[in-house]
Homo-oligomer: A and B are copies of this chain.
Amino acid sequence: MRGDIIKALVFDVFGTIVDWRSSLIAELSAFGAARGLAADWPALVDAWRGAYAPSLDRVRRGARAWAPLDVLHRETLDRLVQEFGIAGLDEAALRHINRGWHRLRPWPDAVGGLGRLKRRFVIAPLSNGNLALLTAMAKQAGLPWDAIFGADLFRHYKPDPETYLGACALLDLPPQEVMMVAAHNADLAAARALGLATAFFPRPGEYGPGQVRDLTAEAAWDVVAQDVEDLAARLGA
């Protein structure tokens, strides 16, 4: 790998750095128990995440105006609460649940690996989350980012080119000196097409038992690692 060329690493976050599924299921289960609410929380979380790509795609296609991920999450949540027949949630409760995305827990290797990488590289999220979400998450989880690239900086969602190239422009670096890190092959394919370097590691537990996607590198990415700690080791950090 052209390790000495790379100046900055930008990271996908949901799934790559934080374990959204287990975090949200744990949050909602505890919330439901405290309130005496019963529901199939794993199914609700899977449905919530299942609406993610379609809701982003509507913005990407121009079928709706720009809206940050916090707003899209909330719209989906309001619908799912109806569909799952969960009653008695007031505005404060719905807001609290929606902010669960701000409190996602990092995978065990993430904080340590990022700390190593930060000593040698500029590190930042490049996520479809909005800046406020990503900043709150970083404080809560201890993610030591140097800067925060949320989709609201660009008013575009990945894989729109404006996101990858927008981050490179703000970093004042050519794409060749920026490495996209993701547990998702499609994200890396979009980044590579624009000239960014790429690093992959799998998160086979991201979607829960029976996950079938992104279990392996589907192209010859510049680095294929086990996790963030291993990526740091492979990049000499």
Q: For chain A, residues 138 to 161, give those with C-beta under 8 angstroms from any C-beta of chain B.
A: 138-139, 146-148, 150, 152-153
Q: What DSSP secondary structure best describes chain A's contact surface?
A: helix
Question: Does A43 make an interface contact (CB < 8 A)?
Answer: no
- In the assembly, what is the distance between CA of A72 and CA of B118, in Å? 29
CB pair B172–A130 under 8 Å, yes or no, is yes
Q: How many chain-A residues does the 8 Å CB contact rule pick out?
A: 22
- Quick check: is A135 within 8 A (CB to CB) of the other chain? yes
Which B residues are in CB contact (< 8 Å) with A136?
A: 122
The answer to whether B131 and A135 have CB atoms under 8 Å apart is no
CB <8 Å contact, B146 and A138: yes
A230 at the interface (CB under 8 A from B): no
Closest residue on chain B to residue A171 by CB atoms: B132
Q: Determine if A63 is an interface residue (Cβ-Cβ < 8 Å).
A: no
Question: Which of the residues B70, B152, B171 comes within 8 Å of A131, measured between beta carbons?
Answer: B171
A150's nearest neighbour on chain B, judged by CB, is: B170
Shortest beta-carbon distance, A220 to chain B, in Å?
30
Q: Chain A 170-187 against B: per-residue CB contact (8 Å), 1 yes, 0 no?
A: 111100000000000000
By a beta-carbon cutoff of 8 Å, the part of chain A in contact with chain B is 68, 70, 118, 122, 130-132, 135-136, 138-139, 146-148, 150, 152-153, 169-173
Name 14 extra pairs, CB < 8 A, besides A68-B172, A131-B171, A153-B153.
A70-B172, A122-B139, A130-B170, A130-B172, A131-B147, A131-B170, A132-B171, A132-B172, A132-B173, A135-B146, A135-B147, A146-B148, A148-B148, A153-B170
